[in-house]
Amino acid sequence: MTPRHFLLALAVVAVWGTNFVVIKGALDALPPLLLATLRFGLAFAPAALFVKRPAVAWRTLATYGVLIGAGQFGLLFIAMRADITPGLASLVIQIQVFFTIGLAVWLAGERVRAHQYVALALAVAGLAVIAGRTDATTTPLGLALVLLAALAWAAGNLVGRRAGRVDMLAFMVWSSLFAVPPLALLSLWLEGPQAIAQGLTAAGASVWAAVLWQSLANVLFGYAAWAWLLARYPAATVTPMALLVPVFGIAASAWWLGEPLPPWKLGAAALVAGGLALNLLGPRFAR
């Protein structure tokens, strides 16, 4: 990978990692399900005019949109409102890797390799450390919600895999259409019209900038650049960069929000990140 392309990949994972801090800022004014509705609505509305619908079934787009929209981001935003710190959220959500493997074993009969068992054990040990240290900033409910969000992400991964080789940017844009209705209905039901109106009224320029960052930077720039890199380099060259997402997430939360980094949290992060790295890079080391 050339230095310029390496910097592009680094910019993508930096956007994805620091986004957890941006989410936290937006949640100070907007209810979580309303924020998720706006995120996916703005990811679809302008981009659909310029991005052609991918050649996949509407049912596939709808299933993926509901799983990623209402499942992953709806649950994640609810958890991040008051029940988990952005740094830990950016780390725990990566457990989707192991949920994806588990679902693939269960539904598709894939086999688990020896190094993946070790990787899973490391990640579970890291989660156990986090669970044993829950407090007012990271509650058991928050941890459970983020794990459920990771499970929804994993299910979405399998739906995306079955879609075959498609334009991932177009897939994300058009699936966002189907994330909006369930999120909007859940927001009306659980948060209520009054909270929605108050949130929209209280939202200033910084909040709307955070909403646009969700849709434009994360979806349009992030997935477009990632797909562009994957089209030019082997996946084994590009995908390990994603291991830096929780690194950026934890560092940004510590820097901008003052999230404390006691030894136990760094140790838990090392265990989870070590498991992710072993799962991804284990075959390369074996060769």
Q: Which of 44, 76, 39 is nearest to 210 (CA)?
A: 39
Q: What is the mean pLDDT of each run of 10 residues along the chain (287 residues)?
A: 88 93 93 96 89 92 94 96 94 92 86 88 93 86 96 91 83 94 96 94 92 88 84 76 90 92 93 90 67
Residue 155 amino acid letter? A
- Where do the domains of the chain lie? 3-286
Task: Collect all residues with Cβ–Cβ distance below 8 Å to 52 and sequence separation of at least 6.
Answer: 170
What is the pLDDT, as a whole number, of residue 53?
92
pLDDT at 160: 86
Contact 195, 31 (CB under 8 A): yes
Cα–Cα distance for residue pair 222/19, rounded to 1 Å: 11
- Measured from the Cβ of residue 107, the count of other Cβ atoms closer than 10 Å reads 11
Q: Which residues contact 241 (CB under 8 A, 6 or more apart)?
A: 9, 10, 12, 13
Q: For position 177, what pLDDT does the model report?
A: 95
Q: Residue 285: its pLDDT value, please?
A: 64
**What's the pLDDT score for residue 245?**
92
**DSSP characters for 137-154?**
SS-HHHHHHHHHHHHHHH
Both tokens assigned to 40: 């996916």
- Supply the pTM of this predicted model: 0.92
User: Phi/psi class of residue 234: alpha, beta or left (left: φ > 0; alpha: ψ in -120 to 50)?
Assistant: beta
Tokens standing for 105? 């074993």
